[in-house]
């Protein structure tokens, strides 16, 4: 009897479920789903159109600013342009997400107004985002970095290619693109703000005549100074010094930032050519070298 009553009750419940599915208006549900999908597609197309038009306007405004030289520092102008594009893109994405959630029936306004949204935001890493935003703001306010600057941030050295509200992009000399969260930028070494001083060291033998080397180096300097616009000051002949227990004849030159390697190589090649022509004994790794 108990088993029979249980089977009857189960059959009754199955019948109720069947009736519930039968009473559903599948045509109406399909129509609403299609309407929602169509609305989402139209919204997406509209927002991407707004994003595209906004980018065109921003690029045009900065192009006109560059033509009229409203900002003399081109790197600063490129930095402000990159930041403006990033802020505009993030703003569009935010309103796009808000519109999509509203269209599918999510009570976004209630969630934002509720106290629980703060805990959810923290759980998703909003603290890190806020730290990135604040630190990025002060980096821009203090003009620590500009697009195109050669910098070293921690262990990463390269050229700044983009400054965002969350990350800074630095391209290393080997082409590696590094994304650095702004909150991790604590020490900034900027090599592009001042002229750079570099040393040209000529390894010489202890038996070499210092007066002869001094005379040859002075003559080379007179020839190269006129043909080297990157020089910001006259080369300074320091003279013989020891570097890692090796005797070198040092010349210090001041050049425009970013050109120190090329200029130093140019001067060193000219020095060696004249020293070899004069048969001045050079030294490398403790061994004397002569040119016959």
pLDDT reported for residue 2:
52
Question: Is residue 55 in some structural domain?
Answer: no
Based on the fold, state whether residues 212 and 265 are members of the same structural domain.
Answer: yes
Inform me whether the pLDDT recorded for 213 exceeds 50: yes
Q: For 56-90, write each residue's pLDDT tens digit.
A: 988 888 887 767 665 556 666 777 777 788 788 88
Q: What is each CA distance from 106 to 6, 45, 112, 146, 228, in whole angstroms?
A: 41, 21, 11, 41, 67
Domains identified in the chain, total number:
2
- Domain C-terminal end among 190, 210, 228: 190
Last residue of a domain, one of 190, 212, 234: 190
- Report yes or no on 263 lying in a domain: yes
Spatial CA neighbour of 83 closest among 157, 137, 125, 127: 137
- How many C-beta atoms surround the C-beta of residue 259 within 10 A? 18
Helix (H, G, I), strand (E, B) or coil at 243: strand
Q: Among 190, 221, 238, where does a domain finish?
A: 190
More confident call, 23 vs 27: 27
- Considering the domain boundaries, does residue 253 fall inside one? yes
224, 182: one domain: no
| Residue 97, in any domain of the structure | no
Q: How much of the chain exceeds pLDDT 70, in percent?
A: 76
Q: Is 140 part of any domain?
A: yes
Q: What is the pLDDT of residues 240-271, one digit of tens each?
A: 998 888 889 999 999 888 788 889 999 999 99
Residue 91 forms part of a structural domain: no
Residue-level pLDDT at 292: 40
| Mean pLDDT to the nearest integer, 227-252 | 89
Contacts of 207 (CB under 8 A, 6+ apart): 281, 288
Query: Which of 175, 181, 108 has the alpha carbon at shortest distance from 139?
Result: 181
pLDDT at res. 17 = 58
Neighbours of 190 (CB within 10 A): 17
pLDDT at residue number 113: 56
| Lowest-confidence segment of 85-99, 226-240, 277-291 by average pLDDT | 277-291
Residue of 116 and 218 predicted with greater confidence = 218
Q: Both 200 and 214 in a single domain?
A: yes
Is the same domain home to 218 and 256? yes
Q: Is residue 243 part of a domain?
A: yes
Provide the mean pLDDT of the chain. 79
Strands, E, within 145-260: which ranges? 150-153, 156-163, 167-171, 177-181, 188-190, 196-203, 236-243, 246-255
Same domain, 216 and 280: yes
pLDDT of residue 249: 92
Give the mean model confidence (pLDDT) for residues 102-108: 72
In this structure, what CATH number is given to the domain that contains residue 172? 2.30.30.60
Domain membership of residue 248 (yes or no) is yes
Confidence (pLDDT) at 291: 44
Q: pTM score, two decimals? A: 0.53
Provide the domain limits for residue 213: 196-289
Q: Could you give the residue ranges of the DSSP H alpha helices within the chain?
A: 2-23, 26-67, 74-103, 108-113, 116-123, 126-141, 210-226, 260-277
Q: Is 191 exposed, middle or buried (0-12, 13-18, 19+ CB in 10 A)?
A: middle
Q: Could you report the per-residue pLDDT of 145-200, keeping only the tens digit for each?
A: 888 888 999 889 999 988 877 888 999 989 999 999 988 888 888 887 778 888 99
Question: In this structure, are 183 and 215 located in the same domain?
Answer: no
pLDDT score for 170: 93
**CATH code at 211?**
3.30.70.100
């Amino acid at each position: 009897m108990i088993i029979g009553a249980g089977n009857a009750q189960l059959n009754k419940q199955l019948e109720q479920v069947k009736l519930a599915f039968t009473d559903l208006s599948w045509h109406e549900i399909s129509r609403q789903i299609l309407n929602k999908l169509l609305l989402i597609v139209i919204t997406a197309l509209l927002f991407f159109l707004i994003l595209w038009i906004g980018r065109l306007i921003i690029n045009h405004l900065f192009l006109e600013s560059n033509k009229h030289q409203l900002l003399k520092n081109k790197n600063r102008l490129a930095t402000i342009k990159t930041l403006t594009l990033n802020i505009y893109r993030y703003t569009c994405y935010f309103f796009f997400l808000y519109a999509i959630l509203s269209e599918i029936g999510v009570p976004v306004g209630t969630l934002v107004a509720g106290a629980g949204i703060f805990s959810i935001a923290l759980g998703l890493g909003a603290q890190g985002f806020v730290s990135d935003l604040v630190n990025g703001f002060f980096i821009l306010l203090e003009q620590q970095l500009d697009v195109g600057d050669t910098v070293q941030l921690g262990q990463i050295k390269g050229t700044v290619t983009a400054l965002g509200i969350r990350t800074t992009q630095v391209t290393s000399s080997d082409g590696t693109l590094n994304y650095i969260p702004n909150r991790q930028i604590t020490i900034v070494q900027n090599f592009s703000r001042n002229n750079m001083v570099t040393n040209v060291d000529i390894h010489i033998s202890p038996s070499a005549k210092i007066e002869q080397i001094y005379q040859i180096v002075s003559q080379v300097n007179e020839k190269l100074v006129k043909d080297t616009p990157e020089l910001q000051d006259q080369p300074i002949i320091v003279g013989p010094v020891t570097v890692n227990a090796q005797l070198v004849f040092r010349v210090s030159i001041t050049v425009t930032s970013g050109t120190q390697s090329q200029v130093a190589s140019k001067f060193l090649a000219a020095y060696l050519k004249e020293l070899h022509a004069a048969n001045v004994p050079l030294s490398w790794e403790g061994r004397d070298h002569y040119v016959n």
